[in-house]
Structure 1
Amino acid sequence: MRTLSLGRTGPDISALGFGAMSFGGIFGPTTEAESLACLDAMYEAGITFIDTANIYGMGISETVVGTWLASRKPKVVLATKASFVAGPPRRVDNSAEHLRSELEASLKRLGREQVDLFYIHRREHARPLEEVIGTLHDLEREGKIGGYGMSEIAPETLREAHAIHPCRAVQNEYSLWSRQPELGLIQECGRLGVTFVAFSPLARGMLGQRPLPFASVSDGFRSQNPRFTQPYFDRNQARIEPFRAFCAARGWSVPATALAWVMAAGPHVVPIPGTRSAERLKEWLPLPDLTEEDRAEIERILPAGFAAGDRYGDGQLLSIERYC
């Protein structure tokens, strides 16, 4: 597995990461045993970068990761996040008090004295950015975090934050069907030496090896995303089908091809697909070596903007920075 530096100053991470959101039950029920087996398969595949958050299952994901770390003692790089305050209504809090208390709870669940990367999960726009970055810089100086990151932000916010204190990573949604980061954010990360972490690179399961049945997304988190509601869901499945045929004709798995496409966006781009199943994880590899011709054909099959429906509902978009 190729490695790269997380931000300009490291540590080194695998070029393919792992998103642990599924361990919290957000995409369906799971067990600790199933999650631990999935993490074992992840590590065996050479993936050493794990991304979780305090809100994934309200601490369940971090607890599972902490249990795995304590029993296996692997050499991995950890990222977690904080900012959300459970509602109703859910709100964003970037205050020093909230970030510190949530980080302490995360470290306890993870069984660590330091986390390598600590994100603000969303930006609280009413709070001055200088104050927020100041808090994160303080946590870094105190040895609580190795560096800070930001999630779902615009290029201008990255420029402003990085000028206050260097940012280690930015995490935004990016995949074949969510391509807004191509309009400046991926490029700005590259210019500043910031790692771009692509979450949901498999389109929340739509780019898995097998088509998702509508019944599996008709309730829960995905049911709040317009792309997973009808009639958009069926339209999107139909539009993805030729891509499935393209992959099958070459003997490549659908998720491996989609991940290779994301990684080709730049040497600083790290996708973090997620799953709760070791079997599904094994379908991510091996990654095909895409040629320019392959990429051109993928662009023809799934051009920018092919997806029907927005990626989030109106309420979910309130805390996300949009641009262009």
Structure 2
Amino acid sequence: CEITSFQALKQFPREKIQLATKFGIVGMKSSDVIVNGTPEYVRSCCEGSLKRLGVEYIDLYYQHRIDTSVPIEDTMGELKKLVEEGKIKYIGLSEASTDTIKRAHAVYPITAVQMEWSLWTREIEDEIIPLCRELGIGIVPYSPLGRGFFGGKAVIESVPANSFLNSNPRFQGENFHQNKNFYSRVEKLAEKHGCTPAQLALAWINHQGDDVVPIPGTTKIKNLNDNIGCLRVELKGEDLKEISDAIPINEVAGDRITDNFIRCSWKFANTPPKHSSVA
């Protein structure tokens, strides 16, 4: 991905681009996600990214997942050094717990926290979102279309055989059959607002605040243009409530991700105290 980005970056003045990349996930071992947040790994990943991207600095550098064996102060200490050296401008976290966000922010200001947030994934609204706002941290929702669910293709057609969604609990068997009802509800509301279900889902997240910047992924120009069209959708307070109420969270069937990724999500992302040693 970074090598591909290098080819695109060469076409534009560097100062016109806001570049974000991340480190932390090393790979998979058995069914576990391997995460590394040691200072040495932080630096080696950053320097590797700079080389692959062909740039002198990264605007926003995320810790992709939290290494729960390393005090967050150690990870942040190295990131702070990289800021001071001019190799990165801003620091971000992804899938971090409230405790980890607070402790990280005390070492060096966190600019953005990337979390899954969509119409059918809203758990972070209870504690994570209020904390980010209290600390002045931007919120970057990933999978704002519910891992493509509100794009509709998987619902109207089917999940492609080679898609990673086949392992997602919400897209499996009876869960998927039950969840399709939510798409129908959003589809009707989208007609009311003169947009597509995907545009309505993105407009809903955009209207959550000026500090919210969703990052819907796409591989097609048409879908990119359609996503941008969500900016034309105007929603009032009562509209937002009606859309939220169309998908009661306690009725969503299945976890948002598989067990191995749940284990490295924000719910399990506290790190050891700085003064303790991990056996």
TM-score by length of 1: 0.76
- Kindly tell me the number of residue pairs found equivalent between the two proteins: 263
Note if contact 1:176-1:258 (Cα within 8 Å) is conserved in structure 2: yes
Choose 90-99 or 140-149, whichever is displaced more.
90-99
* Alignment-derived partner of residue 70 in structure 1: 10
Whole-angstrom distance in 2 between the partners of 1:133 and 1:266: 27
Q: Is 1:310 aligned with 2:255?
A: yes
1:213-224 equivalences under 5 Å are: 215-224=158-167
* Alignment-derived partner of residue 84 in structure 1: 25
Whole-angstrom distance in 1 between the partners of 2:86 and 2:244: 44
Note if contact 1:239-1:306 (Cα within 8 Å) is conserved in structure 2: no
Q: What are the superposed Cα offsets for residues 263-303 of structure 1, whole Å, 9 maximum, x if unpaired?
A: 22222111111100001111111421101221122122122
1:122-271 equivalences under 5 Å are: 122-208=65-151, 210-212=153-155, 215-271=158-214
1:30-49 equivalences under 5 Å are: none
Percent of residue pairs bearing the same amino acid type: 36
Higher-helix-fraction structure:
2
Q: Is 1:104 aligned with 2:47?
A: yes
RMSD: 1.8
What is the deviation of 1:83?
A: 0.7
Counterpart amino acid of residue 71 in structure 1: Q
Whole-angstrom distance in 2 between the partners of 1:268 and 1:313: 29
Match of 1:322 among 241, 257, 267: 267
Counterpart amino acid of residue 135 in structure 2: L
What is the deviation of 1:99?
A: 1.6
* Alignment-derived partner of residue 52 in structure 1: none
**Bigger CA radius of gyration:** 2
Note if contact 2:21-2:62 (Cα within 8 Å) is conserved in structure 1: yes
Counterpart amino acid of residue 232 in structure 1: N
Whole-angstrom distance in 1 between the partners of 2:5 and 2:185: 37
Counterpart amino acid of residue 164 in structure 1: V
TM-score by length of 2: 0.88
Q: What are the superposed Cα offsets for residues 15-47 of structure 1, whole Å, 9 maximum, x if unpaired?
A: xxxxxxxxxxxxxxxxxxxxxxxxxxxxxxxxx
User: For 2:77, what is the secondary structure of its paired residue?
Assistant: helix
Whole-angstrom distance in 2 between the partners of 1:183 and 1:211: 30
What is the deviation of 1:151?
A: 0.5
What is the deviation of 1:215?
A: 4.1
